[in-house]
């Protein structure tokens, strides 16, 4: 296994002060919170206990119905599901915690994407490549050594300088890496992708820190803004461009109502240049929506309840999530949101992921 490392730039420390009282757990819901239901759920992960964590969505280049959900099984690796919830692949990549995805630019074939995951087996950043046909391959010889003590959350960012990964440690440290995916000599872009044909490289761009344990994050590629969750404190944002300031700005604090610790997964549902930041509030199993555009006003929250007719339970102890407005199918005509369910009850089994129609969210919340 090849391990890539890089010389670290100067460390930028940022302190965030939040009242200890705001960190208390609560089951209080926002007074305006609405309830709806998922319309599809994935097969349970094959590992037991606390295993499913964070999803990502791959959009098929020609047929949205063939798009896929990739989820972490943090006891094993990655699982890949169709939009009907059926498992397509299971990859033994190690203790992967968070996962994210970005399309690879030309000359890579349309639909080719890179995925990155925080891998707690070796405290590395793991790379995967998705073919246009929907086959996921782990680049096991391209593990990026972080030097962190306990890698945790992760998200990807793409701008004119390329695809980049943000990865964090439970102690609050963040790293930003540039990710380069290159073909080995003599290989064509339309060939088979695996360790023999594709090589991943990482270059450390900068480091910064938050004041306590982070996990979830999401980068707004268009506006070059990084949103980070500090589990017991709230949501913060900063410049995603590595050449700009890493000073943190407060978006929302844990108040025991709109956000209840832990602050977990987050993603952006795009609507043109605008859209919504969706955040998983684990302590009260709700999903908070904020305006994607500054000053990122709070909009509303929703919960997922049981649907006895479909036999799909709601979510509790919710963790990671992913969203895509590019998924347009009969079941998901206006987009898709995927969330983790910490306690799968219909039927009782291992944890899984719930698929929610954006149309249902928008209608329920009056968006």
β-pairing, 143-145 vs 3-4, is parallel
- Confidence at residue 194, expressed as pLDDT on a 0 to 100 scale: 87
- Confidence at residue 309, expressed as pLDDT on a 0 to 100 scale: 96
Contacts for 156 with CB less than 8 Å, ≥ 6 apart: 100, 101, 102, 114, 116, 163, 164, 165, 166, 179, 219
Taking a C-beta distance cutoff of 8 angstroms, is the pair 150, 171 a contact? Answer: yes
Only one residue has tokens 């990671």, namely 320
Contacts for 35 with CB less than 8 Å, ≥ 6 apart: 302, 303, 304, 305, 364
Taking a C-beta distance cutoff of 8 angstroms, is the pair 198, 181 a contact? Answer: yes
Q: What six digits make up the tokens of 53?
A: 């964590």
CA distances from 291 to 35, 252, 367 (A): 20, 12, 11
> Per DSSP, which regions of 240-335 are E strands?
249-253, 263-271, 274-281, 286-291, 298-304, 321-324
Q: What six digits make up the tokens of 107?
A: 């000359």
Q: What is the largest CA-CA distance in the chain?
A: 61
Sign of CA dihedral 98, 102, 173, 337: negative
Enter the pTM of the model. Answer: 0.91
The one-digit pLDDT tens for each residue of the chain (367 residues) are 433 334 334 333 333 333 333 333 447 899 889 999 999 999 999 998 899 999 999 999 999 999 999 999 999 999 999 999 999 999 999 999 999 999 999 989 999 999 999 999 999 999 999 999 999 999 999 999 999 999 999 999 999 999 999 999 999 999 999 999 998 866 565 667 888 899 999 999 999 999 999 999 999 999 999 999 999 999 999 999 999 999 999 999 999 999 999 999 999 999 999 999 999 999 999 999 999 999 999 999 999 999 999 999 999 999 999 999 999 999 999 999 999 999 999 999 999 999 999 999 999 999 9
- Confidence at residue 19, expressed as pLDDT on a 0 to 100 scale: 36
Using alpha carbons, select from 298, 318, 306, 317 the residue that is nearest to residue 347. 306
Contacts for 20 with CB less than 8 Å, ≥ 6 apart: none
> Regarding the domain delimited by 3-365, which CATH topology (the fold level of the hierarchy) does it fall under?
Neuraminidase (2.120.10)
Only one residue has tokens 């030309």, namely 106
β-pairing, 173-183 vs 263-271, is unpaired
CA–CA distance, 355 with 367 (Å, rounded to integer): 19
CA–CA distance, 109 with 42 (Å, rounded to integer): 28
| Burial readout 277-294 (b: 16 or more C-beta within 10 A, e: otherwise) | bbbbbbbbbbbbbbebee
Cα Rg of the chain (Å, integer) = 19
- Confidence at residue 15, expressed as pLDDT on a 0 to 100 scale: 35
- Confidence at residue 360, expressed as pLDDT on a 0 to 100 scale: 98
Taking a C-beta distance cutoff of 8 angstroms, is the pair 141, 198 a contact? Answer: no
């Amino acid at each position: 296994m090849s391990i890539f490392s890089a010389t670290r730039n100067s460390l930028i420390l940022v302190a965030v002060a939040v009242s200890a009282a705001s960190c208390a757990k609560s089951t209080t819901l926002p007074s305006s919170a609405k309830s709806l239901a998922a319309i599809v759920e994935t097969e349970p992960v094959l590992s037991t206990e606390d295993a499913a964590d964070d999803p990502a969505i791959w959009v098929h280049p020609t047929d949205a119905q063939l798009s896929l959900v990739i989820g972490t099984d943090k006891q094993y690796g990655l699982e890949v599901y169709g939009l009907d919830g059926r498992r397509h692949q299971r990859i033994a990549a190690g203790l992967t915690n968070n996962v994210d995805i970005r399309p690879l630019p030309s000359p890579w074939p349309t639909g080719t994407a890179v995925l990155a995951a925080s891998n707690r087996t070796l405290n590395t950043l793991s790379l995967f490549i998705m073919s246009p046909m929907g086959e996921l391959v782990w680049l096991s010889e391209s593990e990026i050594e972080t030097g962190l003590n306990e890698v945790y959350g992760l998200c990807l960012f793409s701008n004119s300088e390329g695809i980049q990964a943000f990865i964090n440690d439970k102690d609050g440290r963040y790293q930003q890496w540039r990710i380069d995916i290159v073909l080995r000599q003599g290989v064509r872009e339309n060939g088979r992708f695996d360790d023999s044909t594709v090589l991943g490289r990482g270059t450390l761009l900068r480091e910064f820190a938050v004041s306590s344990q982070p996990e979830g994050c999401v980068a707004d590629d268009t506006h070059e803004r990084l949103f980070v969750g500090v589990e017991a404190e709230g949501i913060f944002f900063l410049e995603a461009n590595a050449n700009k300031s890493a000073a943190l700005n407060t978006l929302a604090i844990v108040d025991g109502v709109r956000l209840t610790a832990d602050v977990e997964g987050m993603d952006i549902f795009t609507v043109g240049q605008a859209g919504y930041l969706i955040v998983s509030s684990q302590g009260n199993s709700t999903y908070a929506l904020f305006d994607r555009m500054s000053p990122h006003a709070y909009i509303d929250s929703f919960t997922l309840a049981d649907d006895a007719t479909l036999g799909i339970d709601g979510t509790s102890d919710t963790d990671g999530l992913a969203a895509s407005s590019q998924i347009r199918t009969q079941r998901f005509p206006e987009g898709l949101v995927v969330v983790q369910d910490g306690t799968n009850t219909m039927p009782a089994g291992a944890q899984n992921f719930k698929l929610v129609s954006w149309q249902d969210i928008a209608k329920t919340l009056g968006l």
